[in-house]
Structures are given as structure tokens and as C-alpha cells.
Structure 1
């Protein structure tokens, strides 16, 4: 049995310990019936109950009283009843059946051992049940008082209630914090005046949750009269989606001026259980509502005559057809009943929302911490173009992550921006880039400032997190950039990071989370004093000092942050469902009109209502169970890490890349190299996420596969997909990327490990039977993939024809892009040795198009960029089948010398 240190989280420990207890109890029952006693099984069961005892205090099912019942059964030797009860608990926990109905746990209650597995129910059947949640009550009370609280609250439940809940009672503020980080069923917290401060739990895997708070909050310094209000504030800080209710005996005047977080209501020293019950239900319903999805369902029930576009509306063109009945059978009727181009009848217009779409967007803004949120039905590529076009004017300078998504590059063309590309740090051995170091961003800004161009700098555009999982220290980037230019706009491409809002560790590195934090901290007395002191210290400092200094933003800096998220990539949404989140203090006065014009430009007048409805429901899901699903997503990825790292067979051919592999030491101030190490177990990652310049998103597992002799693309297509049916997106020359998501199950993880073991075994057998020459061939392939990897090229520069001065790097990509529309301005040059000789001799050849090898998928050339020998070497070394913008039969498309001379600056 794995030890406690082998588990990444307490939820994994809980699930496995119940499974182990079931096996031990069933073994004891068999031994008893066969007349044999097993001291070993008895000791195992006692140990498991001892480990589970502190864990179960934070959960309503099976509940501490039922748990004590198990102890008595074991002590009394009633092994048959123990086996039956433990088996039912373990099955209910695994299937989630306890969320739908009461689970009988004693022999008197159990009349049928076979009951429906929650996971086996059809969605229609599950939808009929009332959603279940748990309420955490914080009060240090006796057992009889606890029984009084529980019974009085449960007496308020009614048949007509839309939800059903069970209470969990914990004694202290620290236990409340553990509870909301551990028990994902909790949707509301009731803080009562009798709570104490410290937890009496001594299980390290539980108490580690407190380190997340104690690093930033002086919990020990809280005075007794502050316990209740501080509990509410900390709950909001850690899990802002939860509802908190404060019961207090302090006066209204005392409470009114305190920071109570998002406390929904204060009850003044009264036992009004009915009012508390109704408020709890009302608070959960506030998040449960999905206005547009509900409106669409209601619309689909209306009898209507269709005399407008869309023959498929109401399914008429399908039901009357003799040839496409299979389409109706495959999709079902509801999707067609809800298909319409109408914006009335209870529906709304995406282009000018005033009804349920507007309400759904406002609820999404609340959920994601934005001031405004806008839905998009044609992907984040469009979202990126909307934001760029709305805030960037022709001639504005934009600092851009060079290996960002291609939609940003095209957005720069459309907006007419002067683009200053910044290079990410390279990972040559794996043919991928990391992220742009803060020093590089500051250096670019300071160069523009020295050249007198800072007033033209409009925006910084960065990808957070990158496809490979590199996450910026968003707060540090925004603070230090604002210290150089106080009204700078930030566009954070969070296409792969939409889930991050719903985990306390991740949230501190999201655009909206940081924007809200900066709004609170910029004007504090501490910030004012720190900025004034730093201004004096930097008065005559040169650039190197500025680069080496942790800059403090001015108190009057403007918080201007935008985030684009592919909801469909990381949360529940139909394909192309995306969101734009805005937290811009100048949005109303400066950007709003332009934003709506850009939104109108890029948004279809016939948006797909099913996508909009899925965005609405996806928001509902993450507000109510995003925390749970993200925790399980992280746990799945950590399980893959541990399984690969601990398996000697897998280590021969595979290796999970760690933070130490993907982030240079200079950017890891914490010194943490890996989430898991076979010799030391799991690392404490809270400090790393709090201070390092870059961190690695643990939900992405980059697997080095060069040791198999297959390149990443071959391993993805020929092995994983064709042979085993495993789908992945991203590869590099010698790696493949496995991304867990909120739909990843433990069974999926087990299958992946099983497949990897089978591949490793097959390679072992192949090499055992190989001849000397075959072995040498295999070793050569591995060496070519692992040791002889072409270095990644940096961005060279824009040609002088597209620059306004040579002292700063920005270039006019729009002019270059449209210059290439005239074929007479372009020529093709084969990528042979003669081209390399011309480049090495100093000839300037300029790309007229985007050149994007896939994989890795980033542009190595953009219109107007000078082709360097390093870029050509990289292209010639690539062995990929796709290079977008490149014609192998003709060569590189470049501008003619005459075309470059014709450019007017």
C-alpha cells in the first residue's frame, strides 16, 4: 500500500484508502465465514480507519457518525456488516450516488445490495434529480450542540427546494480553510460566533493546505473578536465563488465597516434557521441560473410557424426528407428545435444583447473576475483580432511575443500596428520556445523610451500560459511594465488557461486575478511610499540598473488588462466557444465604442445559439464545480508524472520534462526543479507559484520520446493515434504533449500508462532480437533526435524599408503584408546551398509571407522580415510535412529589390 507521502492530494488519499478498506473488510468477512482469524487484515483495517478519521471530518458523507459506526463494527468483530457497509460507502463515493439519494449503511436499512451506479444513469435520468451540495458550518460546539445545529437546519428542507444539501460542522477558522480547499462539495459556509482559531488536525497531507494561506496571511495574529469577519474575508480570497454567511453577536455598527469578503448576509445573534436555509438555497441558485440556456430551452417548446431563413429550424427540412433521416437520428430532435435565427420570442442578439445573452455575459464576468465579458462563437482567433483592432490604432507600437498564435500576427496586420517582436528563451534540445523573459520586455520598453517613442507604445501582448505550459508571473510583468509606462494595455492570450480562475494557486497568475489585485494595491499607502523611494533611487540610474531592479508601479497607473480564452479548449463548451474578459479602467471612456465596432466587424450576424448556450452552461459549471474538476485535472497529470518517474521500464525510453528542463534556473528563484522526484516525493509548489518568474502548468505533461527512435509527429500519428486511439495536439521534434482537462478520468490515465508500458515492452523485444546493424540504426535515430537537434532561430529584424529608424526594433508589418498582394513584387528562391551562400555573404533577402513550420507551429518568418542564415538552417533541418506559407516546388517567397525600393515611409 502506498504511503501518505506518495499522494499528491488528500482527495487521492481518501479515494484509495476507502478502496483499500473495502478490500480489507471483505477479506475479514471471508476469513470469519471460513473460521479463520487474520490479525494482519484486522491491523490493516484499524490503520485505514485511523488514517481516514481526520479526513472524514470534512465531509458530510458518510459522515462522522457513520464512520464511528464502522469503528464499533470492527471492534465488535461484526465483519459481515462491516464488509457490506464499507462496500456501499466505497461504491457511493466512487459513483457519486450519495449526491442523488440517501445511501443505507446498516444491515437493517439494506434490503437490496444491487443499486444503480450513478455513472451508469442516462443524462436524462440524472437531470431529474436535485443537485446536491454541502454546507460548511464553522463553530466549536459540543456533540449535543452539533446535533442541535444539524437537526434544526435539516428540518427546514422542503420537497419543493431546488437543491438538497447536508451540513458539515468544523470547529475552527483553520479547519474552515482546510475544508474549502479539500471538500469540493462545499458551496456555502456559515461562520458562527463560537468558532476557535487553530485546527487540531495533525495529518500533514491536510495541514499542508494551510501553507497556502499562512504564506500571505498572519493567521496567528488574528484576535478572537476578529475570527468571524476574518474567516469570511479569507474564504472570499481563497474561493471567491463560495457564499459565506456570518452569524455574529457584535453590533451592526461594528460589522458594517469590516471587510467581509463576499459575505451574502449577516445574521445578528439569532437562530433563524429558516431564513438561513432560504438564503443558502438562494445563493446557490444565483450561480446555478443559466439565463440564455434556459431561454433557448423555453423557446424550443413553443409552437411556432417558421417563415424565415433556416429550413433546418424546428427540424422541418430533416423530418420531411427521405434521404437525411440518419442526421436527425444521430443528433436528436432538441438541437433542431432550438435552432433559429430569431432574436425575439425570449431570445436575444449577440451583436446587441439586452436580454438573456447580456445577463449570461454579466454572470460570466462575475465568475471570471472581469468587469465585462463578451461571448464569441468563432474561436479565440477572432477574439484576439477584436481586442487588437479595438485598442490599437495605425502606427501604435505593440510589443509582441514572437511565437504567439498566428491570429495575433494577422491582427497586427489588420490594425496597422508597428510590431516590436520579442524573443522567448529557447529550448533548443526540444525544438520549442519557453516565454519572453521580463528583462527582455523591460529592455524593449526602455529602448523605445530612450528613442522618444514611449508615447507611441500602446500594448504588450503575451501568451499565458503557452501551449507547452509556461506560465508568466503576471503581476510582476504588469507592475514593472507600468513602472515604465503607466497607461500600458496588456493583452493576455489565455486560450489554454480558462480553467485557471478556479484554483487558488493558478488564480494569482491570471490576467483578471492580477488586475483586480492591482486595483486594490496600487493606491495603498505602502505602494505610494515604495514608489516615491524608488524614484529617488533611480533618478540618475542607467538602463542596467533599471533592468536589475524590481520596479514599483506609480500609484496613478491605470489597470488595463484584456484576456482572451478558448472556453472550448479547457472548459465545457461546444467547439469555437470563446470569451473576451475585460478589466480596463479606461474601457468606458476610451475603448468601448471602438471595441463594439471591432466586435461587429468580426462577429457573424448569424451566431450559433448552441455555442452561446454552451458558454452559459459552462460558466454555471465552473462556478459550482470548477474547483472540484480542476483539482481532479491536476491530480490526473500528477499521477502520470509519478507513474512514469517511478517505472524503470518506462524510464528507458521516456522522460517527463520537469520545470528544471523547461525553465532555466535564472527564472526559478524558488529552486524547485520538479513537481515529483522519486527520491523525495512531492515538492511544495506554493512558493514556486508565488515568486518564480515562470512556472510550469502541471496539467500539461511534456513527454520526451526521442529515446524510442520516433520523432514526435510519428509517435503521435503512427503509434498513439493509429495503434491505440489516443489523441493529442502538440508535438515537437522529440516530444509529445499530453494535456489533462476537466474531463480526464483516472481510467484514461491508467490506459495511457498501460499503453506506454506496452510500447516499452515492444521496444525491449525488438532490440533483444535486433542484429548489430539494426541496433546501430536504432541508436543513430535516437542520437539524431536527442543530440543533433537544429538550434531555434531568433527573430532577425524587419528590413529597413519597413522601419522608422534603426535604433528601435518595431516594423510596419501591414505595409509588408499588402505589398505582397502584387505578384510582381515577389519572387521565389530555392532553399539550396546557393541561397545559404548568398545569405552568409551578407545579401539581404526579405520574406513576403508568413512561414510557419508545423510542428512546432510558430512563425519563423513574417512579412517584411530579413531572412537570416540561422533561419534557413533551421528550415532545412526540419523534417515536418507541413510548412505553412512555403512551397517546396518553388522555394521561399521574397520581395524583389525593386519592390523594397518602392516602399514609401
Structure 2
């Protein structure tokens, strides 16, 4: 039996304990007096003891049934206990308990015992009533608990849209553990009899209390405030849930309290029917999908099609003699729901007023935004919409240089003056981390000293990065607003949409941090803190400001935008994305320009199926996002542990830890790894709350250089071609395995099997290798693991594209369009003419974006000077693709005449400050 420290999650612990209990009971049933019988009995007793703590938080099988099974074992009824445990495990594994009553007695037949929910047809599963659980928080005796459960159960009606079971816990602490442990819970009834402390002492369970504010904060709550405070604390960790407060306190005593997620207060009464209806109504509010429902209804309507799109209603397919296979592959519904009309209640994405508008409002609620906008053209388009809406020609924008290329092109379209920020390099793995906060503050202070702070418009950062480095979003915004109180923030969360639905992850999302900041800076306590810091920093120099955690003035404007590729990490069709907004000045300053930018980049023929999938994807995460994200993190953590501890895999592979990917200076918690073979799992809440950067555990970067294959070869020739394993990203010596909400434990097990097979094959190959073959292998490994070119920083924009020498911003737009005239450009060979030109003292300036893949970020942008470091990096690259580079011609650069001419034109412009 695995120890507690081997489990990252109590859900995994629960599943494995039930499986182990079934195996042990089956063994004891076969050999009741065997040599190992005594050891098995001892093991079973321990399993029942550990499960007794866990099962108190779940409605199935329930405490009463579990206690009955435990007594069966204690009284020697091994056959009966084994039968009941087997049925429970089967129901938990197949999900059958969510659809019907599961009899646990041997005398009661179960004709559907072997029915697995996963093998049911989608039509059959769609007809099943969705199941959830309701947690009742009250310190009750066994009789009172049974009466309360039965009273609620008696309110059920045949036409109820959902079905639920109840689970009762006695204390505030148990409730917090329960809602973070039991993903089936959708509603909480908080009654006046609850107490404070839990009797549970299982570390893997009590670890959850930290995520709800920690033991210390909870212990300070006054007894009369247990109920209202529980509603507030639940809102902090699972804001999507509904709470119902039953209280005997007066209206006046309740009115001034923060009731968090409480939907309704019941005053000292047992109106079970009203409570039952409110529970169903609360779940229905999250279950509704306005646009998906409208689209389904439209597909059922008889229509005559006299508009564009022959494929509408499937007419052009059903009449065809040659493309019937397309209709058979996709099925009829996708075509029945296809139209170019906005009638029939379908609404317009460009001017929403019906179900699309309502669907976007529900998405805003789910993701914690003030406004949310759907996009059917991917996050690349979302990025360009936000940049165009907010940035005017000449505005200064601070951008992380290794961000997605859509941002660079967005700067071109908007005519921004770009300040490129350098991330810290990870040379040994050929990848970048993220931009240190000190670097951002340094550039803002330089701009302030140059008198340009009024032109600074936006800070644009990728959170989290492709490789999983996550910013301390709230801290970044706080300190930047302290220097520029109306700065706009655009957080590219293309790979981070799932984060909203994990309590640990949520605190580092743009929308959550925006709300937290807005609430924080309004308080009188904060105003005092700010005034105290201002007095201390009255004559501070820049070096002091760089070292100080700065506080923004209470009057700062919180202006935050997040773009998310919903399709990348949640359930949505490809190119389904969202823009989330929490901008205090959106209505007064941005709304019209945002509308124009949205109209500019959004198709007038958006794909309705993508919109519907965004609507349904939102429903899913509001009702089961917590469960799916929890399982996603569990799968990734299991993968990390398996690779890190397997003796054979450690020879050829290494899982990069937070210590490998984040320099010590940016890890205030001191945490270097989320798993240690000797100490078990680290509670990551502490580092996610404090550290400047943290590592998203769902992205598992594995160093494969020890195999002698570079990342690209390992991805394509080994994983994909030989084993059918698909991944997105590689670097020169790493591959990135990304888990998602669809990743299963079986998928992780298959990957481990594949890696073990690869390692075994390498062992066999090296065992039979000649001396020269071994030397060749060692040389390849050395080249991949040790002889790596240093990653270059951004050099600078050429003077022709700068306004002065005080600060580093450059005009990327004019450089981009200057290259449209071929007469302004030339080609220089990397191993020939370009070296000669640099040696002669000439400044070589790129006329194109140059993007090697991998790693996939631009190492040159239009108008950037080609440095010796960049040239050395390009020459050392051995990747298959360098976008923007022509191997047959060389690097596209500006001619000296073009640069001189452009510089002259720039000097001639009015109000030009060149040379000031």
C-alpha cells in the first residue's frame, strides 16, 4: 500500500484505497486461513480506517453504507463485505451511481451492474438527468441527519431537471475540505448549528485548508459569524458554487456582512420545498446555454433556404452523388445547424442582442470578467482586436519580446512605439522564462525620467508562457501602477483559460487579480499603507524603487484585458477564443474603439458551431471545471513523479522542476520541486501565493538530450511516427508534454510505458555498440546538453526607427512597411556577406520577422539591428524551420540608402524630438 506522501490528491488516494480494499477482501475470501491471511486482515483494517475519514465528504456510498461494510468485515462476513465493496468500486469507476440507485446487498440483483457510462451512446447519456451533490453543514446526531436528508429527498419530483444527493458535515473546516475535495458538490446549505474545527487529521485532506485562507485566518472567526464567513470563504476558493444560509440571526445583523456566494438567506425555518427549488434553480442558472439551445431549436425548424451557403441544412450534400462520405462522417446535425441568417433567434456575433449576448454575459460571470467577447478566429485575432482598440499611433507599449507573433503584428497595425522586454534566458534548455518585474519597472522609470510616461499606454505579457512560467499578476500590476497609475494591462492567457477553475491557479489570472486590486485599493486600511510608503519613499532614487514592492495610489485605474484560447485548454472547437475585460474606463473611453476593432477583425460569417461550443464549454467549466482541472493537475503530477523516480528513465530523461526553470532570485518561497522522492509532495499554495514566478505543473518539460536525439527529432521520428503520441512544442534538447482536462491516468500510464520502452531500446543499442558508435552517441549528447549557443537578448532598434537616444522604444510599423518596396532591401548570407558587412562596421538591420521554430519566438523584428550574438545564435541553430529566412538567398536586410533616406524623412517630420 502506497504511503500518504505518494499522493498529490485525496481523490487519487480515495480511488486507489477502494481498489486496494477490493483486492484485499477478494484475496481473504479465497484464502481465509492462508499464510498471509493475518497480514491481509491488518491491511484491510487500515484501509477501512483511512477511507472512513474520506467517505464522510461523499454522498455515495454514504457514511451509513460504509459503516455497514466495515461492520461486515469486523464480524467476519468477508463474502458480504467483498461483494459490497466490489459493487461500490464498480459504481465509482463507471459513474453508475450518478444515474441510478446502486444496491449493495447480495440479495438485491442489479441488472445494469456492468454498464459503463463511458460506453453509453451520446444520445443515451444526454437523456440521463445530470447528478450532483449538496453539502449540508451542521453538527447533527445520526437521527437528525437522517431526518434532514429524508426531508430534502421527499421534495423530489419526476419532472425535476436534475437529481442530487446530500452529504452532511459538522464543521466549517470540514465544509472547506469537502468542497475542495468532492467535485460533485454544486450547492451548500449552511445551518446555524455548525462548529468550527474538524476532527480530520489526514495531511492530504487538511492541506486543502490552506487554499481557503489557512488555519490561522479560520480560527479567528467569531462563533456567531461561522455561517456567513463560511459563505465568504467558499467564494474565495470555489466561486461558482451556490450557498444557502439558514440563520436565526436578525436581518440587521446579517445585512452588513459579506455573504460571498450566498444566493438566499432562510430565517430559522425549514421550508424544504423552497430550498429544493432554489437549489435546482441555482444549478439551472449555470446549466443554461442560450446560444447552443437556440441553435438546436433552429435545426429542428422547417425552413426554405434562399440565402448563401448551399451546405445549409445539408442540402448540397444530401443531393450529391460524390460527397456522401462527408455527410456520413460528420452526421446530419452539424449541417442542420448551419446557416448564414441571423433570424430564428440565432443572433449576430457583430451586433449581439439575443442568445449570443446572453451567452457572453454568462461567460463573463464564469470567468470573473466585467465583459466577455467571443471570437471565432482564434486568440491571434483577439490580441489584435485589443491592441487596435487601445493603442493609438505613437503610443508606447511594453511587450515581452518572446510573445506570440500576433502581438508583434498587432504593434505594426496599431503603429505603436515598442519597448521590447527581455525575459531571463534558460540557455541550457534553449528557451526563455519570463520578464522579471525589475526589468519592467526599470523601463518604466527610464520612460518617466525622459518625460514620456504620458505616452506609455500598455504592458503586454504572456501568462502563462508556453513552457509554463506564470507571473505574479497582482504584484506586477500593483508595482507598475505605482509608477503609471492608468497603465493598461493585456495578459495573453492563450494557454491558461483553465486556470480560473483551480483555486491555486485562479489567483494568478488577470481577471481575478483585477478584481482583487479593485477591492483592495478602495479600503481605508490600504490608503494608510500607501501614505506610509509614500512618506518613506519621498526622496528615493531609482535603485531604491527597484528594490521596493511599490503600492499604487488609491485612485489608480484598474484596466485589465485577458485573451484566452478556450479551444486550447477547455472544451471548444478550434479557433474558439474569448476576450475578457475588467477595465474601469471601458465604457467611457474604449467601448467605441473596441467595437470598431472587433468589427475590423471579426468575420461577417462567423462559424455558429464554434460559438455554440464556447457556450457549452462555459457551461461545463461552471459545473465541472473544478473537477476536470483537479484531475488534470493530478495527471501531470503523477507523470512528474513517475519519470523522476523510475531508475531506468532517469538515465536518459529529466523532468525540469521549478528550480530548473525559475532562477532562485524569483522564488521567494525557496521551493525547487513540487515532488521530492524522500519527502513527497510540496504544498504549492505557498509559492503560488508569494513567488514572483511559479511553474504551471500541468506542463511537463522533459529533457531528452540524453537520448542523443534533439527535441524535434524525438517529437516527430520517435513519439509521433513510432508511437502516435502528439505534442506541440520542443526546444533543442527538450519536449513539452501538456496535460489538459481530457487527460486520463491511462494516457499518463501509456506515456510512461513508451518512455520505458525507448530507454530499454537505448540500453540494448548501447550494449551492442562498438567503441566508435559509443563515442558518436556521447558526442551527440554533449552537443545537445552542453555545447548550446547562448540565447540573445533584444539588441535595439536602428536609429532610423527611433525618436531619440534616451529610451529604447522603436517604430516597428514604419520598418515593416518600408520593406514592402524591394528596392529598400537586400539579402546577405549568414556565412558570408553578412559577416563581412558587420566586420566592416556597418549596422545590419533586419527587414523581416525572423522566427526559428523551435523555439518559436522572433529573434529579429523589422527595424532591429543584427547583433553578433543574434548572428551567432542563428548560425548555431539546427532547426528545420526559420520563418522569414530564405536559405537560398540569406537574411533580408535594409540597404544603407533606405535607412539613410528614412532617417531623413523622420527628421523632417514636425514635432520630431530626435536629438533632443
TM-score by length of 2: 0.98
Q: Distance in 2 between matches of 1:541 and 1:262?
A: 43
The corresponding residue for 1:293 is 292
- Equivalent residue of 2:147, what SS? helix
The corresponding residue for 1:512 is 511
TM-superposition CA deviations, 1:311-358 (whole Å, max 9, x none)? 000100000000000000000000000001110111100000000000
Matches within 5 A, 1:306-317: 306-317=305-316
Q: Is the 8 A contact 1:451 1:807 kept in 2?
A: yes
The corresponding residue for 2:632 is 633
Q: Distance in 2 between matches of 1:896 and 1:779?
A: 45
- Using the TM superposition, give the Cα deviation of residue 219 of structure 1 relative to its aligned residue in structure 2, in angstroms: 1.1
Q: Is the 8 A contact 2:136 2:189 kept in 1?
A: yes
- Using the TM superposition, give the Cα deviation of residue 114 of structure 1 relative to its aligned residue in structure 2, in angstroms: 4.3
The corresponding residue for 1:847 is 846
- Equivalent residue of 1:893, what SS? strand
The corresponding residue for 1:866 is 865
- Using the TM superposition, give the Cα deviation of residue 28 of structure 1 relative to its aligned residue in structure 2, in angstroms: 1.7
The corresponding residue for 1:248 is 247
Q: Is the 8 A contact 1:840 1:869 kept in 2?
A: no
Q: Distance in 1 between matches of 2:157 and 2:280?
A: 11
Q: Is the 8 A contact 2:213 2:233 kept in 1?
A: no
Matches within 5 A, 1:829-840: 829-840=828-839
The corresponding residue for 2:462 is 463
The corresponding residue for 1:13 is 13
Is the counterpart of residue 321 in structure 1 residue 320 in structure 2?
A: yes
Q: Distance in 1 between matches of 2:323 and 2:379?
A: 33
The corresponding residue for 1:73 is 72
TM-superposition CA deviations, 1:126-172 (whole Å, max 9, x none)? 11100000000000011110011000010001110000000010000
Q: Is the 8 A contact 2:5 2:679 kept in 1?
A: no
TM-superposition CA deviations, 1:646-692 (whole Å, max 9, x none)? 11100000000000000000000000000011122111211100110
- Equivalent residue of 2:826, what SS? strand
Is the counterpart of residue 268 in structure 1 residue 267 in structure 2?
A: yes
The corresponding residue for 2:730 is 731
The corresponding residue for 1:662 is 661
- Using the TM superposition, give the Cα deviation of residue 37 of structure 1 relative to its aligned residue in structure 2, in angstroms: 8.0
Matches within 5 A, 1:38-77: 38-77=37-76
- Equivalent residue of 1:107, what SS? coil
After alignment, is 89-98 or 188-197 more displaced? 89-98
Is the counterpart of residue 570 in structure 1 residue 569 in structure 2?
A: yes
TM-superposition CA deviations, 1:415-449 (whole Å, max 9, x none)? 00000000000000000000000000000000000
Q: Distance in 2 between matches of 1:844 and 1:636?
A: 51
Matches within 5 A, 1:485-884: 485-884=484-883
The corresponding residue for 2:896 is 897
After alignment, is 71-80 or 264-273 more displaced? 71-80
The corresponding residue for 1:29 is 29
Q: Distance in 2 between matches of 1:832 and 1:38?
A: 75
- Using the TM superposition, give the Cα deviation of residue 113 of structure 1 relative to its aligned residue in structure 2, in angstroms: 7.5
Q: Is the 8 A contact 2:791 2:873 kept in 1?
A: yes
Q: Is the 8 A contact 1:212 1:686 kept in 2?
A: yes
After alignment, is 361-370 or 671-680 more displaced? 671-680
- Equivalent residue of 1:167, what SS? strand
After alignment, is 539-548 or 776-785 more displaced? 539-548
Cα RMSD (Å): 1.1
Q: Is the 8 A contact 1:527 1:555 kept in 2?
A: yes
- Equivalent residue of 2:498, what SS? helix
- Using the TM superposition, give the Cα deviation of residue 240 of structure 1 relative to its aligned residue in structure 2, in angstroms: 0.4
TM-superposition CA deviations, 1:39-98 (whole Å, max 9, x none)? 122211111111100000000011101101111111122222222211111111111111
- Equivalent residue of 2:258, what SS? coil
Matches within 5 A, 1:145-544: 145-215=144-214, 218-544=217-543
- Using the TM superposition, give the Cα deviation of residue 840 of structure 1 relative to its aligned residue in structure 2, in angstroms: 4.5
Q: Distance in 2 between matches of 1:436 and 1:186?
A: 39
Q: Distance in 1 between matches of 2:305 and 2:216?
A: 61
Q: 1:842 to 1:216 in 2, by over 3 A?
A: farther
Q: Distance in 1 between matches of 2:155 and 2:487?
A: 53
Q: Distance in 2 between matches of 1:51 and 1:114?
A: 26
- Using the TM superposition, give the Cα deviation of residue 38 of structure 1 relative to its aligned residue in structure 2, in angstroms: 1.4
- Equivalent residue of 1:652, what SS? helix
Q: Distance in 2 between matches of 1:36 and 1:221?
A: 54
The number of aligned residues is 904
Unaligned 5+ runs, structure 1: none
- Using the TM superposition, give the Cα deviation of residue 486 of structure 1 relative to its aligned residue in structure 2, in angstroms: 0.2
- Using the TM superposition, give the Cα deviation of residue 217 of structure 1 relative to its aligned residue in structure 2, in angstroms: 6.2
Q: Distance in 2 between matches of 1:343 and 1:777?
A: 65
TM-superposition CA deviations, 1:256-288 (whole Å, max 9, x none)? 121101210000000001100000000000000
- Using the TM superposition, give the Cα deviation of residue 111 of structure 1 relative to its aligned residue in structure 2, in angstroms: 4.5
Q: 1:45 to 1:216 in 2, by over 3 A?
A: closer
Q: Is the 8 A contact 2:384 2:410 kept in 1?
A: yes
TM-score by length of 1: 0.99
Q: Is the 8 A contact 1:501 1:510 kept in 2?
A: yes
Q: Distance in 1 between matches of 2:214 and 2:429?
A: 35
- Equivalent residue of 2:136, what SS? strand
- Equivalent residue of 1:189, what SS? strand
TM-superposition CA deviations, 1:551-608 (whole Å, max 9, x none)? 0110000000000000000000000000000000000000000000000000000000
Q: Distance in 1 between matches of 2:642 and 2:34?
A: 39
- Equivalent residue of 2:652, what SS? coil
Q: Distance in 2 between matches of 1:172 and 1:109?
A: 36
Q: Distance in 2 between matches of 1:116 and 1:822?
A: 68
- Equivalent residue of 1:218, what SS? helix
Unaligned 5+ runs, structure 2: 907-916
The corresponding residue for 2:909 is none
Q: Distance in 2 between matches of 1:672 and 1:95?
A: 38
Q: Is the 8 A contact 2:212 2:236 kept in 1?
A: no
Q: 1:35 to 1:480 in 2, by over 3 A?
A: closer
After alignment, is 416-425 or 534-543 more displaced? 534-543
Q: Is the 8 A contact 1:387 1:595 kept in 2?
A: yes
- Using the TM superposition, give the Cα deviation of residue 110 of structure 1 relative to its aligned residue in structure 2, in angstroms: 2.6
Q: Distance in 1 between matches of 2:899 and 2:305?
A: 57
- Using the TM superposition, give the Cα deviation of residue 838 of structure 1 relative to its aligned residue in structure 2, in angstroms: 3.2
- Equivalent residue of 1:562, what SS? strand
After alignment, is 827-836 or 778-787 more displaced? 827-836
Q: Is the 8 A contact 1:18 1:90 kept in 2?
A: yes
Q: Distance in 2 between matches of 1:125 and 1:44?
A: 40
Q: Distance in 1 between matches of 2:112 and 2:356?
A: 47
- Equivalent residue of 1:519, what SS? helix
TM-superposition CA deviations, 1:517-570 (whole Å, max 9, x none)? 011001212221121122222222111011011101100000000000000000
Q: 1:776 to 1:515 in 2, by over 3 A?
A: same
Q: Distance in 1 between matches of 2:238 and 2:388?
A: 34
Q: Is the 8 A contact 1:373 1:582 kept in 2?
A: yes
- Using the TM superposition, give the Cα deviation of residue 888 of structure 1 relative to its aligned residue in structure 2, in angstroms: 0.3
Matches within 5 A, 1:69-108: 69-108=68-107
TM-superposition CA deviations, 1:839-873 (whole Å, max 9, x none)? 24532010000000000000000000000010011
